[in-house]
Amino acid sequence: MSERAPQAMAAAVPAHAIAELLVHRPPLLLLDELGAHDAEGLTAFVRVSATHPFASATDVPSTLAIEYMAQAVAAHQGLLDRQAGRPICEGFLLGARRLDVHRDVLPIGLRLAAIVRRDFDLGGEFGRYACQLVDTADGTCVAEGDLKVFQSPQRVAELKEGGK
C-alpha cells in the first residue's frame, strides 16, 4: 500500500492535547504527537515505550500495530469533530478488512508514523481507513491494513444506556 501523506491543514497537535481528542488515558493512550492532517487523513507519531503495559524488557508485540493505527483514526475523527464544532464522540474499531504485520516485535525506542486515510464513509457512521505504520528511521512499512470503524453520537449514547 502506498499512502499519500495528509497535507498540513493545521499546526501539529502537541502531546498534551491528544487526550482531548481520544477517550484513552495513560498508560493506554499510545500516541505521542499528531502531525500533518487534513479532512481525509492524519499522520500520528508514537515511540514504543518500556512503560507500555505489554512491554517486555526489549520490545512490545507487533500485534499492537493495530492499536497504534486505530488511535490515529480516532484522533482524526476527534479533529474533524472539533473543527466542525461538534462534541468529540467516541467510536469503535469494528475490525480490519486486511491487516499485514511485517515484524514479529517492535523494539523499545522505535519511532513510528501512523498514516491513516479515510477511503470510505457511509453517512458519517461507518467508515474505512487505509492505514500504514512506518518506521521513521528507515521508512520501512511495519504494518498496513484497512480498518473499519463506527462512530455515531446517538447510537453510542444508546449503547451506553443499554440499548433502551
Could you give the number of structural domains in the chain? 1
Domain for residue 64, yes or no?
yes
Domain for residue 4, yes or no?
no
Q: Which of 6-10, 11-15, 38-42 has the highest mean pLDDT?
A: 38-42
Average pLDDT, the chain: 86
Judge whether residue 121 has pLDDT over 90. Answer: no
Can you give the CATH number for the domain in which 43 is found? 3.10.129.10
Rounded distance between C-alpha atoms, residue 164 and residue 157, angstroms? 10
Judge whether residue 5 has pLDDT over 60. Answer: no
Domain for residue 10, yes or no?
no
If you average pLDDT over residues 1-21, what whole number do you get?
A: 63
91-116: per-residue pLDDT in tens?
889 999 899 999 999 999 999 999 99
Print the domain residue range for 65.
15-160
Domain for residue 7, yes or no?
no
Domain for residue 8, yes or no?
no
Q: Are 145 and 87 in contact (CB under 8 A)?
A: no
Model confidence band, residue 2 (pLDDT cutoffs 50, 70, 90): very low
Q: Which of 57-61, 80-84, 125-129, 153-157 has the highest mean pLDDT?
A: 57-61
More confident residue, 86 or 140: 140
DSSP per position, the chain: --PPPPPP-SPPBPHHHHTTT-S--TTS----EEEEE-SSEEEEEEE--TTSTT--SSEEEGGGHHHHHHHHHHHHHHHHHHHTTPPP---EEEEEEEEEE--SEEETT-EEEEEEEEEEEETTTEEEEEEEEEETTT--EEEEEEEEEE--HHHHHHHHTT--
Domain for residue 9, yes or no?
no
pLDDT above 70 as % of the chain: 82
Instruction: Give the pairing of strands 141-150 and 92-101.
Output: antiparallel
Rounded distance between C-alpha atoms, residue 53 and residue 46, angstroms? 15
Domain for residue 71, yes or no?
yes
Q: Are 111 and 46 in contact (CB under 8 A)?
A: yes
Model confidence band, residue 68 (pLDDT cutoffs 50, 70, 90): very high
Domain for residue 1, yes or no?
no
